[in-house]
Structures are given as C-alpha cells and as structure tokens.
Chains A and B, each alone.
Chain A
C-alpha cells in the first residue's frame, strides 16, 4: 500500500523459488548435479547438446519427469499459499486456511470420487479430476456458508465451526469411498497424504486452466481485502461491495485449492505458514501479501518435496507428511514469537 514500490519481497522469494527449482530438478532416483542441470537446460535452450550429457539421458529425465513434477508443485504451492492468505483476509482470522473451512476435504472428496473412474489420459480427461475437486470444494463452501449464516451475515466463529464439521464429514466419506475401491487404495492413500502419483506433463495441463483463472484473480483482490480488515460495516461504508468481494474471494480461492488438491493431494500447513512468514517479514498489505505468498509457497513446497524425496531415498515420503512434520512445530514457533508483534 505504501507508495514506495518495494521489490525486495519479490526478489527474495523469486530467488528462493529459483534455487528450490534447480534443487528439485537435481534430486531424484538419479541424482543430477545442479551444475549439470543448469548446463543441460541452457544447452537445450540454445539448441545444442550439453557436453555433460552427450547421450541426452539427463535431458530426457529433466524434461519428461523432473520439470513437470516441479511445475506441478510450484502451481500447487502457489495456490495453497495464496488461498490461505485470501481466506485469512476474508475471514479476518489468522487460522483460516483451506482446511479450516472444509474446502480441502470437500475438494478431496470430489477428486477421489472422480478417481474411481479411469479417465482417458488426455488433456480433457485430466481436467475432470480438478473440476470434480472444484465442485466438491464449492459445494462444501456453500453448505458451510449456509449452515453458518445468521440473517445476511456469516459470523466467523459459525463459519469455522461449520467448516470443521463439514471437513470431518467429507473426510469420512472420502475414507469410505477409498476403502470400497481396493485396487486404487494405496494410490489414493498416498495422494491423500499429499503425494503426487501421476507423472509427466499431463497433470500440469489438467490443472493449468484452473490455476490461471484462480491465481490471476487472487492477485487483484488485495485492495478490497485490505479494506475488509476494518470489518464488513466499515468496508461497505468505504464503498466496497462486501458480498461481491466475499463470493469472488471464496470462488477464486476454492478454485485454486481444488486445482492444487486434484493432483498433489492434501498438503497441510502451507496455506497457514507461508502467509504468516510473509506477514511477519513484509507486513500485511494484501496487495503484496498474496503474490509474495504465491512465490514463497511455491519455493517452500519444492524444498519440502526435495526433503520428502531424499530422507529415506530411494523411497519417497508423501510431501504432505513433511509439510506437517516441519510446518507444525515451525508454526507454533511463529505463533509464540508473534505474540509480541503487531503483525496480524
């Protein structure tokens, strides 16, 4: 909001994202050193064959497996962190997050239901799961908002209580579905814990249209969210159409969350931790908070994923377990530290 156009947050988070990206491409069942990664990529851009990769094996691993995996995680991390900040701003609640209001579980239910059918591995077929996830997420949000509504307003406490209940309900339904589908169980279980099970570019193309709409929409709602921090009444008195902003935010954040959940599963804490760190360091202006959280969330999820793929290599831990293991304690530390600071 300040007129000084401060680029520092963008530069720092972009650098983190860049380093994490190279690391993510380097680490895997075959380790490719970062120097080789960079050389192979730049050679390919120039249309040459890298001297470090005369047979083009690394190039193939990088372009067919590692880059699409990294892009998928970048999109998911950006979406979860941006949705988290948007929900926090909308509900004026530091604990708001795609989980709290039941969106993630609802989207998960939609995705699992769609997974019961083997959709063709085409761009259109791959768009079905995110669409089902979005449908599940939106239906959950609508039910939750309806349950929590008092007259024309939706008090935060009601919303969160209804969200927790809906979340539990959706999770139970998801488990029931999964238990009844013996063959797909392990895959779905890994997915539930936040592990991407599909490889290649397919999932990326499947969620890209949703991500483009969701993320670009979230970037431009910073100003109304800033005004909403003063409460619905003052926001309306300042000329904000509160109901419209509310539904717009819910729709975009839910779309982004659903797209993230569709192929990377349920990844916790990112939507909570990233916006809080950004807020602590660079302040709470939503016009900056949302885009910077996107960059930070993308970088952080890549780093978490590198850890998930290397701690007990060659086996992989679902990244959602790593984010919860590291994110939980870190979040407690942030909470304790932030008590004395005026950042929320």
Chain B
C-alpha cells in the first residue's frame, strides 16, 4: 500500500467528509481538506466550532462517525505506533508529571521515540534554558506551554499538532510563542494549528480554513481568504462645502457615495485612483480632510464569515427538520 507513489505522498493530512457527533450534538458536519507537507495549516473559528474534535480525531484520541482521514498516509484511528513516532502533539490542556524537572521530562519523553532530538537542543529551541532544572509544577503558564512544545518536538516529528497553543497568554508571551512556532517552519515541519485568534492565523499560517458550526465555511491563504484580495479598497475623505461629488475627476471606481461631507469610493485600483484624486486636489488647492485608503482586514472577513462569533449548536433533530 505504501509502495504506490501517489500525489498523497505530498500530503501530510487528508480529510474527506469527516463527521462526528456527541449524542444529539453534531460537532463536525462533513469536513474536507488537505494539508501539504511543510506548510502551516490553521483551523480558525470561534469556540465550539468543531476545531478540537477534528484535531483530536487526527491525533487518534477520538473516533470519527464517518468519513475518511489519513495522517502521514495512516488512518489515525488505527492507533499506529509508527504514526505516533512521527507526530508531535500539543493538546489544548494537559498536565505533565509535575515532580520531574524540565530536563528530566524532555529526556523522558524523548526516550519514547526511536528517532529523537538532543535534549539540550530542544530546551534551547523553546527558550527554557534557565528553567532546565526547575520542577515542572513550578513553571508559569507560558513556560508550561513552551515545555508542552518541547515535549512534542523532542521526537523530531514530521507533523506537529498545536491545539490553541497560546490561549490565555499575555500579548508578549504570545509573540514569543509565535516566533518559536515560526522557527519550526524553518525546520521543514508540517504544522497543524487551531486557534480562535485571527491575528495568530494571519501571522503563522500558510493556509487557513474558517470553521463555524462544524463546517468549513471558507479557506485559502490568509491574504485571499473570503476573496479579501479581490475586494475593492476603500478611499475615504471629506469634501469642502463648495465642492460636490461630481467635481471629483473620473477614477477607476466601483462606486462612490457621499454622506454629509464624507466621501467613500470603492475601487479595485486604489493606487491609480488615489493618485488621480490627490493630483486633482493639489492642483485645484482642494483641502481633502481625513484622507485614507484601506483594504478589508482579515478581521472584517472573519467577523463577516462567522457572524457574531457565537458558537453554533445544531442538533440532529434540528437538522432533520431543516
């Protein structure tokens, strides 16, 4: 089975029409996606969207109701040791033997793997050098999370699962964690990330899939998600009283509107449009107050896609009547 070289060899993860329910609650409702080797893939969505169900099915902790899943070519439900040798897992919350030191823990978890990275190198990578002899139970939250990462990395995995890796971090600790995760990408690892922070997805991910109510509702590169790159930019400014909307020269535009003195122009050629307008304003000595050009942010797109950001709960009964 492994000997047939297919396109699947390029894929770290393949998921087809994956479904998972807990009693009446449909947590995952037919999800399909691929993760290529070497990329950082992010499941983004509000709490309760089904992200953790998916990641824990791929990690082998939960069983799927139906659909296909392959992780590094292996069915994660098989409990294969070969798969566990190649995968590093950072769970959303999981304890660690608190009476052992950082060094001892990295060494201990490293031994489980046939192929392993040097303990000191891993501790260095997650910047826990100063805490190497500290008992794990004495670490701060951020340090504990970095230890989690170290324990996932010590087996030199091909693929790393990070489930909400920075939840509860202060902004500085989050930046630090991001730079560590970025350094993983430079090692050529595949990273599967879940988060409900847009910023995190934008900063780390090569590709993002947005989830809501157990379904993927959009996917793509962070800069083109939801057609973000194709959407018109907005040029805004205020017109002096003596100037009207029709006095503005023709620009490559989608639409223009005037509310009070405030003008909003939607255009797919913001640079050209801005140049024409500013040239006209400078030549005619027209004072345009509060001039700005903006592209829709990932946040705009995300909020638009996920609605209010409230987790959706749909039951079997509801879906049956729908």
- Report if A and B associate in a common complex: no
